[in-house]
Amino acid sequence: MADGSPPPGPDPVGPAPAVRPFLVTAGRVADNAPGRAMPVETQVVATAAGLDGLGRLSFEQHDIVAACRLPQSLAELAARLRLHLNVVRVLAEDLREAGHLTVHVPDVDATHDASVLRRVIDGLRAVPDSRGVPSDTD
């Protein structure tokens, strides 16, 4: 979560997926959404309809909605699910359009707050590389 603690409940996924990101999104990229891509600090939360429809979603979509019982940023979600950030952006947009997620884009002024940016950077560093090892680069 934003304070560094994991969301309550069991982790909905296991090890990092071996599926190529372009297969998960059918070759779509985040920039194809109307306007610009959702910022990494965008908060997403599951809707009641999304939680009710978990059984009808693809694996990745199911994991995203299940993980969003409490609001999370896209960066936190990508790190937690071990998915590429742009895959999470594309799928989150699809889920929003289907009514499974509510998306809250933060105020532009908040994105320039150093503490918010630090938390986003920390979340991105927690995203494992292709070997499943968190990044140590500064």
pTM of the entire predicted model: 0.61
The pLDDT value recorded for residue 114 is: 79
**SS (HEC) of 6-75:** CCCCCCCCCCCCCCCHHHHCCCCCHHHCCCCCCCCCCEEEECHHHHHCHHHCCHHHHHHHHHCCCCEEHH
pLDDT in tens, 2-33: 455 555 555 555 555 555 555 555 556 655 44
The pLDDT value recorded for residue 110 is: 60
Of 111, 104, 88, 96, residue with least CA distance to 30: 88
Which bin fits 34, alpha (ψ -120 to 50), beta or left (φ > 0)? Answer: beta
At position 95, the amino acid (one-letter code) is L
What does the pLDDT average to over 27-55?
Answer: 78
Q: Between these two residues, 2 and 81, which has the higher pLDDT value?
A: 81
The pLDDT value recorded for residue 31 is: 58
Q: Between these two residues, 40 and 63, which has the higher pLDDT value?
A: 63
What does the pLDDT average to over 60-88?
Answer: 90
The pLDDT value recorded for residue 122 is: 85
Q: How confident is the model at residue 50 (pLDDT cuts 50, 70, 90)?
A: very high
Of 121, 119, 98, 7, residue with least CA distance to 51: 98
Tokens, residue 25: 């999104």
Of 63, 59, 89, residue with least CA distance to 75: 89
Contact predicate 104/97, CB 8 Å:
no
Tokens, residue 28: 């779509």
What is the spatial distance between Cα 29 and Cα 47, in angstroms, rounded to a whole number?
Answer: 24
| The pLDDT of residue 90 is above 80 | yes
How much of the chain exceeds pLDDT 70, in percent? 62
